[in-house]
Structure 1
Amino acid sequence: MAWIMLVVAGLLEVVWAIAMKRSDGFTRVPETAVFLVASIASFVLLSRALRDLPIGTGYAVWTGIGAIGAAIVGIVFLSEAASPLRLASLGLVAAGIVGLALSSAAAH
């Protein structure tokens, strides 16, 4: 259950990051409201997941999901660059997340 909460928390990090960008410096009320709700929910789920997961693994997976997800949303929906180096770097982040998750599972 901790892993499910962690993944959902990471996905909500993507939501709040995109909402923060779209809020135009917190001047748009609907986007700011989405940011607030998603960020609070993300932190609550992260804190609950960390009851059972190591902090290093949990935090790295959470931020990694958020970083990769926000970058993908930026590329697909916001016309951000998708250079080979950028995509390869995202792949390295993903490999790091998988490695941490596997090493954490092997330690238990």
Structure 2
Amino acid sequence: MHWILLIIAGIFEIGFTFCLGKAKEATATLASYWYIGFLACISISMYLLLKATQVLPLGTAYAVWTGIGAVGTVLVGIFFFKEPADFWRLFFISTLIISIVGLKFVTH
């Protein structure tokens, strides 16, 4: 159950970085809505991370949370903000994914 909370927390981390990117592109009132989305996502993400770390080791939970956010943010950048998707960028994101999965398997 706590791993699921951690994964959802990571997804909300992706959400708050997405909102930041959209706010940067928006103007006036629309930007305010994206900032409200940012605050909502970061609050939910932190709350779920807090709940997950009550059972999971802090170092592992934090590494997985930031890893999910990092991988997701790079993918959001590629798909929504037209950032480059060259070989080396995808290669190193792949190694990060392998590390996240590895942490899951070695944590009791």
TM range (shorter): over 0.9
Secondary structure at the counterpart of residue 92 of structure 1: helix
Opposite residue 71 of structure 2, the aligned amino acid is I
Secondary structure at the counterpart of residue 24 of structure 2: coil
Cα distance in 2 for partners of 1:20, 1:4 equals 25
Secondary structure at the counterpart of residue 67 of structure 2: helix
Structure 2 residue aligned with 1:99: 102
Map Cα deviations across residues 75-97 of structure 1 (whole Å, 9 max, x no partner).
Answer: 11211100000000000100110
Structure 2 residue aligned with 1:3: 3
RMSD of aligned alpha carbons? 1.5
Structure 2 residue aligned with 1:22: 22
Uncovered stretches (5+) of structure 1, i.e. residues with no partner: none
Aligned pairs, number: 105
Q: Which runs of 4+ in 1 moved over 6 A?
A: none
Opposite residue 14 of structure 1, the aligned amino acid is I
Structure 2 residue aligned with 1:32: 35
Opposite residue 17 of structure 2, the aligned amino acid is A
Cα distance in 1 for partners of 2:24, 2:73 equals 16
Aligned sequence identity (%): 38
Cα distance in 1 for partners of 2:80, 2:23 equals 16
What is the deviation of 1:22?
1.8
CA distance 1:79–1:10, shift in 2 (3 Å): same
Cα distance in 2 for partners of 1:100, 1:25 equals 36
Uncovered stretches (5+) of structure 2, i.e. residues with no partner: none
Q: TM-score w.r.t. structure 2 length?
A: 0.92
Q: TM-score w.r.t. structure 1 length?
A: 0.92
